[in-house]
Structure 1
């Protein structure tokens, strides 16, 4: 039936083979990476023929990071392997362009004035001309222009602005120094040497998670992606790993092969959802409600009903849960105020930077003590005490922090807490102590931990408007409450929370949240992030290999930061650098504050 098929073992025509030989010929191989605003930094072998990139191939010679971790290769993605198409695409911008309305005016002015600065002055001080090119903005009309013309225009406008308004009126912006360190440094250095202002970038287009500096005081220190393999429970939210972390995604797949469980929270069945052991289709933007209810379960079952020793010890050592907070009277109830400052007490009233050092209650000595590590130690003259050691900052004695005053309070007071979801306040009982200050005043204090217990609705036998049980849908942060926001059943949430806690208990914190732009680009992103961060802290996951918050959006760092910044910001010439936060700069100068 198939006798019409011929087996040609010696075909006469072999010209087609020559086509493929020519296609894959190359003169040399160049090592490079693809600058496409990606943190992957994949190593590529670029094949070049007659000075033209003909094709690229993924490198396979990455060094091993650690014994027991999978190799880095394969690293690369569809965008990287097709980058040579972009290099030679007719759509690639290779020349400067200027808006036609401005270009016509500039050429006319340049013909009338020998001095370029005078030419620009004649335009910018002419209301009719200025209005003409400003009204042309946003309407296209770009024309290709030669480099000499556009560079002269930039220089003339810059010099005129400096002469008229001063150098600090020159503000410059460029994204991602890590994408092209030399290019970024050249522009930033010019700005600084002329007295201009460099605008920030990472926070401006909302790649920076504000929850990171809010919680830890740093920009974004997250995992090397290979550490995903060490996690035993991965929660992925707002990060489509296959698409946005393509070269690293294999670590997540390999972690699953190694026995890790992956939960994916996504309103749609995204690409990463196919990796999930469990896909939870939360309503978009409601991840915060999910994690708040998870924290309710964690605190109730694993901190109060059955306190896990590892969780308790971690919370004392590495969080601000033991710190004392002042309570201020609000009618017949109270409101939480600020952290109690160390210099309010007689024992510490003369310490340096006392307004920036805080207090814990020592369970052994039954008095407040000042631990090291507060920001006041960071900027003090005395060095060596900005650390997490549980020792008094004055006499160096050990501190045994009390997380709660539940069994040792002077009184239980009703503290008002805001329920923004329902636009109301609830009053809940919080155990408190009275402390005498250096001035003889008596202040009422509670621990951060006790206030968190009240905030999350863990009653612990205390009076107040606490939820009755997990099924109380009217009380904020219960599993039943979260259903109206997330669209998911309480049973799924309770099961997840218990898996999270048990995994963290048995592995000492190897639970990991991988999070990205899908959440970070919401207006209330910091609240969603911080709800998840609480779950990490309550289970002792931050700072643990295979645990913690792994935020990946954009490209915020470069390896030689210290040495590079000296060049980029002219620190070799200037004692101080003019840097400006871009979001607030745009907020003010575009009159957004009016609306």
Structure 2
């Protein structure tokens, strides 16, 4: 007997049916024709099963499901040992990774190479439970320590891996990231300009944005499609823009940007809007601005973030300067290793963290594997949850257009799927590395390590061989990600982002959340 465990009622019925048919796939087809004979026993006693038979049972379920229902109804969480096989078959690989890297770094972002982590000169371990969300290349971070790599841990608990630790209050990571961005913009874009060339070539900072009139001022509209010859249009006419603020309720920041006239329209650059959003003042611009780094009232200074995060303003300032100087001296060899953030607005915080890498020329330093996948939470919301009573419009910013008025998260998710957002049908075979809740109701075979699953994960090599044998062919490998360069976005120009006030980096304090935020459903194909 091997290390596999199987639900006793399931394996007894499988042996009974297979004995008469002598064909594992046909046996599984007959068994699932009356699945109520074993499904009610899910979560009850499991018994040992030899590895070969466990692989055969799982392979029979997979081959039958692919043939009858289609490959997309075989699903696996990306961290499951069976994910590579499922992806190779064309099944649904479910990812828990945030959508922010694709939104900021581009849809073709494939994550770092294995040695990128060891080459990093400055590493921020940012978030909780990093060991659960990092890839198998984690030892490369440790290997970099022998080359003088500095590691700073940011989270609610210290870690022994780091040289320094910034202990933040739960859910306030985005405030720290915004304050660090404030410092980088002032000291590395206004006081000095070491990253201007990178910004002009690889980011959307020089792109022009059309402004719309609103309440005797202006709000950002969409990109015009053209880039300006410089990062800024500063030096001529200026107007006041209204920008979202969430730290003091749904409020409004009144700050100025320089503008050019394009016919009847006023335009400014993404860079000019970014300076206004972060509160980096320049002489002659209207609006309310921070008086300096020690201003505790106007976002987003180091002193302002201290009120929310508990991190001393001097330490936020020091960390931002170290990141900028190291990126400048090493040509962008700085890395952020993202972990779980304790806030329903983690996607907003991740975009603020990503902005630090984009500004300093470290776009490849987001140490998380990219690639295609079906986001887990929307997948479960669609297939395992019923109608919800959430009010999606409750999170819109103060000057929103009412795009989400009286709408639920499920209705927005369905709209996104109709518009081409990646989704798969409900699973018949589902492989998990750990328990999740809720589960889709019509799963014929649930593969996972705990007693609530039908079968513990069989050996991937044995299962691959069994699938190839029963299907009469070979199983293709899951395609790897392709590293392609493209412009990185600090303005995520999408109607849903503008409606929520999150088109530019911002900070949302922890609090009210939704089953699925519309900003998590924005994807550029």
Deviations 1:78-109 (A, max 9, x none): xxxxxxxxxxxx9x62x4x4422334445566
Superposed displacement of residue 123, structure 1: 5.8
Q: 2:316 aligns with which of 484, 493, 514?
A: 493
Alpha-carbon distance between aligned partners in 2 of 1:315 and 1:153, rounded to the nearest angstrom: 50
Q: Does residue 235 of structure 2 align to residue 407 of structure 1?
A: yes
Q: Which runs of structure 2 are paired with 1:150-169 in the superposition (5 Å)?
A: 151=56, 155=60, 159=64, 166-167=69-70
TM-superposed deviation, 1:111: 7.7
> Number of matched residues?
383
Preserved CA contact (<8 Å) 2:182 2:278: yes
Q: What is residue 551 of structure 1 aligned with on the other side?
A: 367
Runs of 5+ consecutive residues of structure 2 not aligned to the other structure: 389-514, 516-525
Asked if residue 535 in structure 1 is aligned to residue 356 in structure 2, the reply is: yes
Kindly provide the CA deviation profile for residues 387-411 of structure 1, in whole angstroms up to 9, marking residues without a partner as x.
Answer: xxxxxxxxxxxxxx221122133x4
Distance 1:503 1:114 in 2: 65
Q: TM-score, normalised by structure 2?
A: 0.61
SS in 2 for 1:329: strand
Q: Matches of 1:590 and 1:145 in 2, distance apart?
A: 32
- Aligned with 2:339 (options 496, 517, 532): 517
Match of 1:173, SS state, is strand
Bigger Rg, which one: 1
Q: How far apart are residue 339 of structure 1 and its match?
A: 1.2
Q: 1:332 to 1:243 in 2, by over 3 A?
A: closer
Q: Answer whether contact 2:231 2:269 (CA < 8 A) is retained.
A: yes
Q: Is the 8 A contact 1:172 1:199 kept in 2?
A: yes
Which deviates further from its counterpart, 465-474 or 260-269?
Answer: 260-269
1:58 is matched with which residue?
none
Q: Is 1:200 the counterpart of 2:93 in the alignment?
A: yes
* 1:46-195 alignment runs, 5 A limit: 93=3, 95=4, 97-106=5-14, 124=32, 130-131=35-36, 133-142=38-47, 144=49, 151=56, 155=60, 159=64, 166-167=69-70, 170-173=73-76, 175=78, 184-185=84-85, 191=89
Task: Report how far residue 324 of structure 1 moved.
Answer: 0.9
| 2: CA distance, partners of 1:263 / 1:169 | 41
The CA distance in 2 between the partners of 1:224 and 1:102, in whole Å, is 41
- Counterpart position of 2:249: 422
The structure with higher relative contact order (CA 8 Å, sep 6+) is 2
Does structure 2 retain, via aligned residues, the 8 Å contact 1:435–1:445?
yes
In structure 2, the CA distance between the partners of 1:116 and 1:540, relative to structure 1 (3 Å rule), is: closer
- 1:162 shift after superposition: 5.3
**Deviation per residue, 1:123-143 (Å, 9 max, x gap):** 6565xxx44532322344345
Structure 1 partner of 2:186: 300
Label 1:588 to 1:580 Cα distance change in 2 as closer, same or farther (>3 A).
Answer: farther
Aligned with 2:154 (options 265, 268, 277): 265
CA distance in 1, matches of 2:65, 2:327: 62
Gap change, CA 1:98 and 1:329, over 3 Å in 2: same
RMSD: 4.1
For 1:314 and 1:470, locate their aligned partners in 2 and report how far apart those are by CA, in whole Å. 26
* TM-score for the superposition, normalised by structure 1: 0.54
Give, in whole Å, the separation in 2 of the partners of 1:266 and 1:423.
26
User: How far does residue 212 in structure 1 lie from its aligned partner after superposition?
Assistant: 2.2
Find the counterpart in structure 2 of residue 470 from structure 1: 293
